[in-house]
Structures are given as structure tokens and as C-alpha cells.
Structure 1
Amino acid sequence: MIKESNFKNYLFQQFELQEEHWQKLQALVKYQRFQKGEFLLTAGSICQHSFFVEKGLLRFYSISVNGKEHILQFAPENWVVSDRSSVFFGEPSSFHIDAVEDTTVVMLDERFLKTLAEVNVKFASNNELLLQNHIRHLHQRLHSLLGENAEERYLNFLKLYPDVMQRVPQWMIASYLGITPESLSRVRKKLSKN
């Protein structure tokens, strides 16, 4: 068990959770450790959880019919990742989630989220805000992939994930940006000259 939980701090900050609420929730909090390369979700399975990253790094991605990976999201510490459509609708996921490095997560199931809503009224309104922010992030991601050049996408990546650059191989960054590793090298070289 982790002594001082990033997740507990996250709940206290995001939802102004009180210690009495935490006492009711603590028994439902399940930590799980995943080794580098281990899957939390595979395409074709139904996603049962959202994953709060306590320590480590996850990636959320799909694989095309020709075997090419397309990374949609990285999830470093204090981020939540899930296939919410699969969770909500109970449909098989089209995505994979795996550990980029050894990672400890909090497994958030619907029971935990319902209990959180019962003990903390602020959760409902803040959860709506978090959902809207998630939708905004998806729209920005689509706009970036469809409307920005590689240099702009790379600069946005650095803003969104300032510490991920040193934690993942270049091909993963290129996959996230929708470019080849060679194109990423050219972008980085060009920016280093400026």
C-alpha cells in the first residue's frame, strides 16, 4: 500500500473531499502495479475501469489493420485514462492501454464513482466539468492532427506533456504526433536552430 496517495490528494484538491468522505471511500480504492509492457486493456475486451496513474506512465492507443500504432494519449502521474465509451456502453474497446514503464494505478470502477457521488456533492458538478474538459481535449487533439503542421503538433506535445519527452522512445512521440520518427528528427533539428 502506498503511504501518501497522489490519488487521495487529487480527490481532496479536485472535489474538496473531506477526511470523513475518504474513510468511506478508502475500502473501495484498489491499487495495482503493472510492469513495463503489461496491458491494462486490450482491443476487443470491455473496459471495466478508469485508471488513475499514481506512479509511472501509460499510453492509450489503437493499432491499424496494417499494424501501425496510433497513440492517442499518454497518462503520466495524476492523469486518468480509460475507454469511457467501452465502460459506459459495455462495448468491446478498439483501444489498448499499456504501461510504458513500471506503473502503479488506482483502479476506478463504477461502484467507486457512484459512492464518491453519494458522499461528495461537489463530485457531480466537478465530474461534469472534467467530462467537458475531456471533450475539449479531444477536440483540440483532432484539430491538432487535422489542422496543424508537425512543428505545431510537437510544440503542443511539449506543453501538454512536459516531462514525457525524457520517458518515452522517439517513435512513440512520432506516433502520437502522427508523423514518422525521421520527420520528428527533422522537426527537432529545425527547432533547435531557432
Structure 2
Amino acid sequence: MKDLTDIINIDPGAKTKQFQKGDILQRDGDAKASTFYVKKGLLRSYIIDSKGKEHIFMFAPAGWITADLEALEFNEPVKLFIDCLEDSEIIIFNKDCLLKADLPKEKIAENTQLLYRRLGKLQRRVLMLMGSPAIDRYTYFINTYPELPNRVPQRMIATYLGITPQALSTIRRKIVRSK
């Protein structure tokens, strides 16, 4: 998000921290949720179901924000795990700083537009999971995260898409053959 660092700097409690690949920033059941802005690196948000299966909710590359919005908004225990897929530089901030920030109308409009874009992508992802063929979901993933196929394991992409790694391999072969 363009210029979000300036807004976050308004929060005196915001901290920039370095994390290593594999570090878990937030766990299911944590009492307090945080908001994470990725300056550098890559995060993922996911749940683990009652059978121990992982379900990836989203990836957050540099310039993205991730948080357990439900836990933040309703002051509930955290449901999403958030971890580092790469060494990362993260700004941890309070969501209220965005509400309290004394910003020019242009900045508010710009950031609102970016927020709506991200929410639109999330809505589209949910709708695609509900009824789109796996190949369409993969194409949308590639368009949303063009740099990620070379940065994350294929099993994570498959989990994100709601398919098996074998199904992902089949889809990728079909796409290569059709070119």
C-alpha cells in the first residue's frame, strides 16, 4: 500500500521488527490480535482444522497488510495463524491509528481505494472457492500474486486453492500445453 508507512508512523506503539523464515507471529487462541504490514518478505495467514489440515487464507507479500480482522474488530481470541514464509521486516501496529490519523482528504481517499481493492480481491477469492473450476482459481492466483509461484512451495499454493498438489500439477501441465 503506497505511503502506508507514513500513516503507521502516527501510531507511537508501532514497531518495526525483523523476523526469520518460520517465525510464527500469531497463533490460534492468542488473546490479542495484531495488524502486520509487510515492508519486506512474505507472510501467510491460515487455520488448522480439527483434523490437523492446514487451510491458507491469504499470502501477504511486501506492501500488504494481514490481520485476523474478526479478532481485532470484536476483541475475540485469534483464529488465524500468521507466519513468515521468508525472512521478513514487519511493522506491527494498532488498527486504531488508521482511524485517528489526521490525514489530508486525498490520502484518505487513496487508502480507502486501496482497501476496497483488497476487499474486492478477497470477495472474489471467496466466490471463486464457492463455485469456480480449479483452473480459474489458479489463473486468478497467478494474476493476484504473480511473483509467488517461485517463492512458495506448490503444496501451499494447492492448499490456498483448495485442491491437492496432484491436481495443481495437472492444471499447470494443461496450461503449459495450451500455450
User: Which TM-score bucket, shorter chain as reference?
Assistant: 0.7 to 0.9
TM-score of the superposed pair, with normalisation by structure 2: 0.87
1:192 corresponds to 2:172? no
| Contact 1:57-1:102 at 8 Å conserved across structures | yes
TM-score by length of 1: 0.81
Question: Which position in structure 1 is the counterpart of 2:66?
Answer: 81
In the alignment, the residues of structure 2 paired with residue 111 and residue 154 of structure 1 have an alpha-carbon distance, to the nearest angstrom, of 35
Distance (Å, rounded) in 2 between the aligned partners of 1:189 and 1:114: 47
Alignment pair present for 1:99 and 2:76? no
Distance 1:154 1:51 in 2: 26
- Give ranges in structure 1 of 5+ residues lacking alignment: 1-6
C-alpha displacement at 1:142, in angstroms?
Answer: 1.1
Residue pairs, 1:1-194, within 5 angstroms: 10-11=2-3, 25=10, 28-110=13-95, 112-115=97-100, 117-194=101-178
Aligned residues: 178
Which structure 2 residue ranges, 5 or more long, are not aligned? none
Distance change (3 Å), C-alpha of 1:92 and 1:27? closer
The answer (yes or no) to whether the contact 2:45–2:66 under 8 Å persists in 1 is yes
Mapped partners of 1:175, 1:94: distance in 2: 18
Secondary structure in structure 1 of the residue aligned to 2:30: coil
Aligned alpha-carbon RMSD (Å): 2.5
Q: Which amino acid aligns with 1:35?
A: Q
Is the helix fraction higher in 1 or 2? Answer: 1
Letter of the structure 2 residue corresponding to residue 94 of structure 1: K
Q: Could you report, residue by residue, the CA deviation over 1:7-29 in whole angstroms, capped at 9, with x for unpaired residues?
A: 7xx22xx79x7xxx89x738554
1:73 is matched by which residue type in structure 2?
Answer: M
